[in-house]
Amino acid sequence: MPTMADVARSAGVSVATVSHVLNDTRPVLPHTRQAVLDAIDRLGYTPNTLARSLVTSRTRSIGLAVSAISNPYFTEILQGVEARALEHGYSLLIADPHDDPAHERKVVQLLHERRVDGMIVAPSANPRELVGYLGRHQVPAVFLDRLVDTPADGAPRYDQICAESAEPTARLVSHLAELGHRRIALVAGLPGFSTTRERITGYRHGLAASGLPYDERLVAHGDSDSPGAERATAALLSLTAPPTALVTANNAMTIGALRALRDRGLSVPEDIALCCFDDFAWADLFSPRLTAVAQPSREIGARAVRLLLDRLASPDRPARTVRLPCVFVHRGSCGCPEEAESARRPDRPHGRSPHTAPAPRKFEEGSVS
């Protein structure tokens, strides 16, 4: 089996230079780096990761802890994390905390014991034990999708990244109000998630901007999953004055809401209009196609890796919270005519008419704090 010394002889450089190329520990001239890489390919050299980690105290690995990996949203986040990690020479260890605080704590400990260089975590609704463990052991970490409350001084302790939630949700509500709906319900997520709080806030802002009163009976928690949303939607439909329009706060809950509507024999949008937070691959295969907010899930994953690598390079820099913009994807489930929808596709600019809804737009340019 070829060694690092063999690579150095073949490339005509020192062993130290080969080490710098492999570990990115010091700049190397482009032609010298290429000579080393060519020698590695020619000899079939494979670095000894274990030995290298003993020397550098780094394993070139990242731990990723996200629940419901089968969820298309988190699957796309995972793809973004993996692509960016591999681009920088990092491997990925993946675990599912199941949105359970106790299991989350165990999962993070196991990843830490595998000596990952840092972690990317979608925290549970009660991440106290998680945050405590990371703090005690000084584990570099980035929180994604759901934000962890900052201390009283307002300075976040960890880097965090998520999509905007409040304004996009308000936009869905305003759109339904523009179409004449006055009883607009929200199937909200699991209590305790920052995304749940922010989407409820956006829902209330959308009502207020449209001159509609807030009625707490029109907000039902679907617990961020399909069965919970099915129950929540059934409860909303059982009200004395049921809603005429529905906003679902994530893709899994959209499926549950559609099941509840089907069981009642209700059609979308003829009997009830529907808009959802989270676009997904088959949203335009439903009949009618689903009007949705699309999150930049792959970009969230890629940016989480960038934040973590920046943290590893500069452990003492101030923590950052990054928010990325969403996109309003207008289809037919809101009740707008299909022909008007197709006329407003981004590749087909078209002026507004009195009978059409606003054209798709980005809610805002992302922000960093």
Q: Cβ contacts of residue 326 below 8 Å, gap of 6+? A: 163, 164, 168, 293, 294, 295, 296, 362, 363
Which two tokens mark 353? 């008419």
Higher-confidence residue: 161 or 338? 161
What are the beta bridge partners of residue 274?
246
Choice among 47-51, 169-173, 187-191 with the minimum mean pLDDT:
47-51
Average pLDDT over residues 175-197: 96
Instruction: Report the alpha-carbon distance of residue 47 to residue 149 in Å, rounded.
Output: 41
Instruction: Give the best-scoring range by mean pLDDT among 95-99, 153-157, 363-367.
Output: 95-99
pLDDT for res 355 = 34
- Percentage of the chain exceeding pLDDT 70: 85
pLDDT for res 368 = 40
Model confidence at 367, pLDDT cuts 50, 70, 90, reads very low
Average pLDDT over residues 30-37: 91
The strand ranges marked E within 45-190 are: 61-65, 91-95, 118-121, 141-144, 159-163, 184-188
Helical (H) or strand (E) element with 219: strand 219-221
Query: Closest by alpha carbon to 130, among 147, 105, 149, 153?
Result: 105
Instruction: Report the alpha-carbon distance of residue 254 to residue 295 in Å, rounded.
Output: 15
pLDDT for res 181 = 97
Grouping H, G, I as helix, E, B as strand and the rest as coil, residue 273 is strand
Query: Closest by alpha carbon to 245, among 289, 216, 214, 276?
Result: 276
Which two tokens mark 253? 């809950």
Model confidence at 59, pLDDT cuts 50, 70, 90, reads confident
DSSP state of 145: S
354 has a pLDDT exceeding 50:
no
Which CATH superfamily hosts domain 166-295+326-368?
Response regulator (3.40.50.2300)
Q: What is the CATH number of domain 61-163+298-324?
A: 3.40.50.2300
Q: Which pLDDT tens digit goes with each residue over 65-87?
A: 998 666 778 889 999 999 999 99
Q: Looking at the chain, how many residues does it have?
A: 369
Choice among 3-12, 242-251, 299-308 with the minimum mean pLDDT:
3-12
pLDDT for res 369 = 38
342 has a pLDDT exceeding 60:
no
Burial 320-342 (b: 16+ CB within 10 A, else e): bbbbbbbbbbbbbbbbbeeebbe
Query: Closest by alpha carbon to 307, among 126, 49, 62?
Result: 62
pLDDT for res 240 = 96
pLDDT for res 352 = 32
Higher-confidence residue: 322 or 286? 322
Q: Cβ contacts of residue 48 below 8 Å, gap of 6+? A: none
Grouping H, G, I as helix, E, B as strand and the rest as coil, residue 18 is helix
111 has a pLDDT exceeding 60:
yes
155 has a pLDDT exceeding 70:
no
* Cα R_g (the chain), whole angstroms: 25
Domain 4-56 has CATH 1.10.260.40: yes
189 has a pLDDT exceeding 90:
yes
DSSP state of 131: H
This prediction has a pTM of 0.77
Which two tokens mark 123? 């925290």
pLDDT for res 348 = 32
359 has a pLDDT exceeding 80:
no
Give the residue extent of every domain in the chain. 4-56, 61-163+298-324, 166-295+326-368
Choice among 52-66, 117-131, 143-157, 348-362 with the minimum mean pLDDT:
348-362
Choice among 11-20, 119-128, 178-187, 214-223 with the minimum mean pLDDT:
11-20
Contact 55, 84 (CB under 8 A): no
Which two tokens mark 300? 């969230």
Instruction: Report the alpha-carbon distance of residue 347 to residue 353 in Å, rounded.
Output: 18
How confident is the prediction for the chain on average, in pLDDT? 85
Grouping H, G, I as helix, E, B as strand and the rest as coil, residue 242 is coil
Which two tokens mark 193? 């998630």
Domain 61-163+298-324 identical in fold to domain 166-295+326-368:
yes
Query: Closest by alpha carbon to 189, among 129, 125, 98?
Result: 125
pLDDT for res 51 = 52
Higher-confidence residue: 338 or 167? 167
